[in-house]
Amino acid sequence: MQIDKILIVESPVHLWRLLSAKNEIIDHSTGEIYELLMVFMDSAESYVKGCRCDEDQNYSYMVSRYQDIRSGEVIEHLVKGFECDRIEFK
């Protein structure tokens, strides 16, 4: 019997917190994966820590970047970094 380790990501902010706690995942990425992760991290930080007057705009941008990183190569990189079998996004 095999037990799969599944990481369930509840929201963009949840992923931002997970990646903030494991910076080495970003540090070990290269090229387009690195760029996508960094842009996502910046957008999420702007939403979480930014001015409330820009909250709607920052949220929309963060969600858009969140969709960008849900592609195959980035997911593979995240699965390796979080040492799980797969990631499910809610």
Closest among 49, 20, 54 to 37, alpha carbons compared: 20
The structure's pTM equals: 0.91
CA distances from 50 to 2, 13, 55, 58, 89 (A): 43, 13, 7, 8, 24
Query: Is 80 exceeded by the pLDDT of residue 16?
Result: yes
Across residues 60-79, what is the average pLDDT? Answer: 93
- Does residue 64 have a pLDDT over 90? yes
- Residue 90, pLDDT > 90, answer no
pLDDT band at 71 (very low <50, low <70, confident <90, very high): confident
Q: Count Cβ atoms below 10 Å from residue 14 Cβ, excluding itself.
A: 14
